[in-house]
Structure 1
Amino acid sequence: MKSTLTNLWHPICGVQIRDMGEKRYLFKFFHSMDMNRVLKGLMWTFNNHLLILSKLRIGEGPLKIPLVYVPFWVQIHDVPIGLFSESLARLLGNFIRVFLEYDGSDLGKENRNYMRVRVQIDVRKPLRRKKQDKNDDRNRFHRDG
């Protein structure tokens, strides 16, 4: 696991991985930039298992943290480009689960006709697949990544 994730993450100052038991691992990054890049990055998997990452606070026990929340980038299709905005992204993101951020970069590039919204998902609950609009039943949510 260590060599695979180290090759994938390329931490500049290194990472230490400790098996805590109960299918939990403690990742110790030696530079905050490395840790933030991993936490902010894609959803991570190892051997087809989703890695649920959480930043430890001072005094927190790593076995006490409920590892059930994962940030996902989702694509929201069939929204007229003129309506793309952070306020709409926030509204739709909170409909899906919990809004985290809106990716307003690259709008209009490469014919991107969808909004990218990062949401926090509780992996114990099914994802809402559709939101019906009064005027159009084609609005769909897609996991991006």
Structure 2
Amino acid sequence: MRTRLHCCAMSCNALSIKEKEHPVCTLDVNLKVKGEMRLALCLVGKIMKKKLVNRDVFMEVMNKIWRVYGGVEIEPVEGNIFAFYFSNLDDMQRILKGGPWAFVQAIIVFDKPAGASEINDLKFMYVDFWVQIHNIPLICMTKEIWMFLGGMIGKVHDIDLGTTADGSGSFLRVRVTMETKQSLQHYLRVDLLGFEKITTMLL
């Protein structure tokens, strides 16, 4: 994909001065508005897998999994990159908040196109995760400390304000944004009292 886009960019740069002086047309305002409205309900997703996936199977599976009330139009773009056009903002936000999503054991990373940006301008750098933090001492049972702990993992977007219990004890849930190149942590190490006594919390 990168090679093809790079060749396209080189071709544009290679235009002669005379070719670059051709008349420039301005898009009709009504057409621009329609394009912006469609773009506002668009997500571009990349399946983080080197091997090309079966496009038809992917589109069929995602439509079944998401069950978007207003429907979603999925269009292949390039390689493992797809454009998702929703009919309303609620559906699009629900899919974003319901992630992360995966296909054939590979995560799908979304980016939001804007303006006249091109596909090669999208970086697919960030993904949101719900993370469980286990082994939390009682001194940490405040929202502010939860925000601090979540901030050690990534940018905090949401917190499950009630700790949850399972067979291994209580744990906290935080939703954080992480870089796709960032390795997933397995624990946090915190000096809670400033006495160099380290508390380890499992993720």
TM more than 0.5: yes
Task: Give, in angstroms, the shift of residue 132 of structure 1.
Answer: 2.2
Tell me which residue corresponds to 1:48. 105
1: CA distance, partners of 2:198 / 2:135:
9
Q: Residues 26 and 62 of structure 1 are in contact (CA less than 8 Å); yes or no, is this contact kept in structure 2?
A: no
2: CA distance, partners of 1:133 / 1:91:
10
Tell me which residue corresponds to 1:7. 64
Q: CA 1:89–1:137 in structure 2 vs 1: closer, same or farther (change >3 Å)?
A: closer
| 27-36 or 96-105, which deviates more | 96-105
The one of the two structures with greater contact order (alpha-carbon pairs below 8 A, sep at least 6) is: 1
1: CA distance, partners of 2:187 / 2:102:
26
Q: CA 1:6–1:108 in structure 2 vs 1: closer, same or farther (change >3 Å)?
A: closer
Residue correspondence of structure 1 range 103-122 to structure 2 within 5 A: 103-105=160-162, 107=163, 113-122=170-179
Structure 1, unmatched stretches of 5+, are: none
Q: Residues 99 and 117 of structure 1 are in contact (CA less than 8 Å); yes or no, is this contact kept in structure 2?
A: yes
- How many residue pairs get matched? 140
Tell me which residue corresponds to 2:145. 88
2: CA distance, partners of 1:79 / 1:96:
15
1: CA distance, partners of 2:183 / 2:95:
25
Tell me which residue corresponds to 1:30. 87
Task: Give, in angstroms, the shift of residue 84 of structure 1.
Answer: 2.7
Structure with bigger gyration radius: 2
% identity of equivalent residues = 24
2: CA distance, partners of 1:60 / 1:115:
39
Letter in 2 for 1:139: M
Tell me which residue corresponds to 2:202. 140
Q: Residues 17 and 26 of structure 1 are in contact (CA less than 8 Å); yes or no, is this contact kept in structure 2?
A: yes
Q: Residues 19 and 25 of structure 1 are in contact (CA less than 8 Å); yes or no, is this contact kept in structure 2?
A: yes
- TM-score normalised over the length of structure 1: 0.83
Letter in 1 for 2:83: L
Letter in 1 for 2:95: V
Task: Give, in angstroms, the shift of residue 109 of structure 1.
Answer: 6.6
Structure 2, unmatched stretches of 5+, are: 1-57, 192-196
Q: Does 1:76 align with 2:166?
A: no
Task: Give, in angstroms, the shift of residue 63 of structure 1.
Answer: 3.4
